[in-house]
Amino acid sequence: MINLFNAQIESLSIHRVGNKNRGENMFVSASTFHLNDEIKPLIKEYFLKPFREKEETYYRFHHESDIEFNELYNLANQIFDDPFNTHEYSKKIATLLYEQSTHPHIKSGEVYVVYFEGMQLDNEKMSAIGIFKSELKHEFLQFEQNQSNLEMIVQQGVNLQKLDKGAIIFNKHRDEGYKILSVDSNRYDTKYWLENFLGVDVLADENYFTKNYLNFAKNFAKDVVLPAEDKKQEVMFMNRSMDYFAKNDDFEESNYINSVIDNPALIPEFQNYKVEKAPKYKVEDLTNFPIANKAVTDARKKIKNVITLDTNIQIKMDFVNAESAEKFVEKGWDEEKQMYYYLVYFNKEEKK
C-alpha cells in the first residue's frame, strides 16, 4: 500500500520529446528546473494524484534475455546509486523515450524526470524515481486589461488535473526489477509506454493474486450462479466472497469454496469453470496466497450489489454484512398476481 502524502521532490528535470517518425526533434534542458513555493504543490499534485486514485497494480522491469539488458532498469540503478546526478541520467531517459516514439499515434510532449524522497510503500519510507509525460494540450482563456476593457486571449497549455502518462519506480526489490506503478490515460498507445519504453511486466504479488481471483469469482457468479439460480443468489455469492476475503489474511481455495457456495451442485460447476477459464483470469495455479486488503477494497467498489426489477424497483444488497440479505430478504411467487416478489424485513427507515 502506498502513501504519497510526505513525498518530497528533490530534483525535477524537464525535456521535450517529439515523434521521431514524423521528424520531430527532442529538446534537452541544460539543468534542473527550480521549483518555487507556488509551483511545487501544484506540480506534486499533478504527478501523484493519479496514483492515489488508481488501483494498485505493480510492475517490475523485465527483459526476455536478462534484466541487465533493460536500459531503463540500468538507468534507475544509476540514479538510486548517484541521485545528485539525476539530471544527467534524465537526459538518457528522454533519449530512450524519443527512440521509442515512432508510432504515428504517439504525440509529442514534455517528459519530467523526478527524484523523490519520503515515499512510503508497505509502511516503509524510501526514495523513488518518477517519469511523467504530458501530451495533450488544452485551450484556456487569459484576460488582459486594456484601458477601459478586458481583452480575452485564447492560449494552450497542460491541464494539471489530468496526467497523460506516468510511472513511479520505488527503490525496493532492486534485484527483482523494483516495484513500479504506472498510469496511462491514453489507451491507444499502451504498448509504447509499458512495453517499449518502460519494459515491464506485471509483478505477481498478493495484490495481483487477490485482484485476479476476485475478478474470476465475479465472472463465475455472472456466468454460472445467475443462470443456475437467480440474481439474488448471484449477489449473495459475491457477498459471501467479499466477506471471506475481508475476514481472512490468507486464501485457501477449498476453505473458500465451502464458505461461499451454499448449493453443493455448484461445487463441480465451480471446479469445471476454473479449468476452463483459469488462463483468461490468470488463476491457474492459485489455490493458496496472502490476501491484499487494498485489492479487496478496490474490488468492493466495482461490484454491483443491486437487484434491478422490471417494475422499476431496485434492491441494494449490503456487502458489509454478508448475512443481511439472507436474513432480511426473501424471494417468493404470488399465484394470484402470477409474479415474483421480494419480502424485505426492517426495523426502521434510515433518514439520509
pLDDT at 108: 93
Parallel, antiparallel, or unpaired: how do β-strands 109-121 and 59-61 relate?
unpaired
Q: What is the pLDDT of residues 42-59, one digit of tens each?
A: 999 999 999 987 777 899
pLDDT at 318: 65
SS3 readout for the chain: CEECCCCEEEEEEEEEECCHHHCCCEEECCCCCCCCCCHHHHHHHHHHHHHHHCCCCCEEECCCCCHHHCHHHHHHHHHHHCHHHHHHHHHHHHHHHHHHCCCCCCCCEEEEEEEEEEEEECCEEEEEEEEEEECCCEEEEEEEEECCEEEEEEEEECCCCCCCEEEEEECCCHHHCCEEEEEECCHHHHHHHHHHHHCEEECCCHHHHHHHHHHHHHHHHHHHHHHHCCHHHHHHHHHHHHHHHHHCCEEEHHHHHHHHCCCCCHHHHHHHHHHHHHHHHCCCCCCEEECCHHHHHHHHHHCCCEEECCCCCEEECCCCCCCHHHHHEEEEEECCCCEEEEEECCCCCCCC
Q: In sequence order, what are the residues at sequence separation of 6 or more whose Cβ sits closer than 8 angstroms to the Cβ of residue 118?
A: 6, 7, 8, 125
- Examine the pLDDT at 342 and tell me if it is beyond 60: yes
Distance CA 136, CA 133 (A): 10
- Examine the pLDDT at 322 and tell me if it is beyond 60: no
- pLDDT, averaged across the chain: 90
Q: What is the pLDDT of residues 74-133, one digit of tens each?
A: 999 999 999 999 999 999 999 999 999 988 888 999 999 999 999 998 889 999 999 999
The single-letter code of the amino acid at 162 is: K
pLDDT at 80: 97
Q: In sequence order, what are the residues at sequence separation of 6 or more whose Cβ sits closer than 8 angstroms to the Cβ of residue 25?
A: 18
Longest pairwise C-alpha distance within the chain? 83
Q: What is the pLDDT of residues 247-258, one digit of tens each?
A: 999 999 999 999
pLDDT at 5: 86
Of the listed ranges 81-85, 193-197, 233-237, 279-283, the one predicted with least confidence: 233-237
pLDDT at 324: 63
- Examine the pLDDT at 217 and tell me if it is beyond 90: yes
pTM above 0.85, yes or no: no
Question: Once rounded to an integer, what is the mean pLDDT over residues 216-228?
Answer: 92
Confidence of residue 325 (pLDDT cuts 50, 70, 90): low
What residue ranges do the domains of the chain occupy? Answer: 2-135+161-203, 207-344
Of the listed ranges 102-106, 172-176, 325-329, the one predicted with least confidence: 325-329
Q: What is the pLDDT of residues 181-205, one digit of tens each?
A: 999 987 766 688 999 999 999 988 8
pLDDT at 232: 81
Confidence of residue 321 (pLDDT cuts 50, 70, 90): low
